[in-house]
Amino acid sequence: MPICTTRDGVEIFYKDWGQGRPVVFIHGWPLNGDAWQDQLKAVVDAGYRGIAHDRRGHGHSTPVWDGYDFDTFADDLNDLLTDLDLRDVTLVAHSMGGGELARYVGRHGTGRLRSAVLLSAIPPVMIKSDKNPDGVPDEVFDALKNGVLTERSQFWKDTAEGFFSANRPGNKVTQGNKDAFWYMAMAQTIEGGVRCVDAFGYTDFTEDLKKFDIPTLVVHGDDDQVVPIDATGRKSAQIIPNAELKVYEGSSHGIAMVPGDKEKFNRDLLEFLNK
């Protein structure tokens, strides 16, 4: 089983498929690298090397008690890129993974990178405030933590509804999508589930985004009920120099998994990679 051991002894599991220029996928909360199966196949079939890791406390990686902050996540990512000696890398990040990508650039620069893709990602900042009126209210994050702590199996089943906009007429989500979400969520540690909410809910990545000096594609659904586009995707595209924004009309937070949306995203991703 492919493992990268971090500077503090955490074992990070990853998939590493194909040959060619590397594309590294960074998953969201509460998922793991399995969320990227369709994208991994698409890039490998197109001649790229696809890599997707499980964040600490997620999937097959070490179920640690601590280290659930973005400085640590970014350093874990740096350990992976360094261990595999990856260069000319495109980082593709979903949701919370977008914070990991942004903080990686903020802490480690873009020397190993070719480009970046932010998919339904949390930067620049999620929490609602006077400066961020379109953000998410504090009580939402409290409810997320409470759900994880009280009856997380049912909580994850309920959370999948909004994640995939299954509560909208004419939605494209399948029962399989919901089942896959639940399975991955249950593989996350309970402590990681709670601490990640504190991390992604309140961390400000504005200064990290200003350090981007590589081509960047921002993709976001305008019916994202988890990470509101007006607070995140649109603002990130304004902050990152020369970023390209693609808005998917009517699409949910689960673009990479939902039939129709995932094929569209794969096409846009490959077009971006081939530039």
Which residues are designated catalytic?
Answer: 95, 224, 253
The DSSP result for 90-102, as a single string, is EEEEETHHHHHHH
Report CA-CA distances (Å) from 245 to 148, 154, 230.
33, 35, 12
**Beta carbons of 5 and 11 less than 8 angstroms apart:** yes
Measure the CA–CA gap between 53 and 155, rounded to whole angstroms. Answer: 25
- Angle (CA) 79 103 264, round 5°: 95
Side-chain-side CA neighbours of 114 within 13 Å: the count stands at 14
**Within 13 Å, how many C-alpha atoms sit on residue 37's CB side?**
10
Sheet of strand 216-221, all strands in order from the earlier edge strand to the far edge? 3-5, 11-17, 49-53, 22-26, 89-94, 113-119, 216-221, 244-248
Peptide bond into 169 cis (omega under 30): no
Q: Where are the beta strands (DSSP E) in the chain?
A: 3-5, 11-17, 22-26, 49-53, 89-94, 113-119, 216-221, 244-248
In a 10 Å sphere around its CB, with 0-12 CB exposed, 13-18 middle and 19+ buried, how is residue 233 labelled? buried
The answer to whether the beta carbons of residues 113 and 214 sit under 8 Å apart is yes
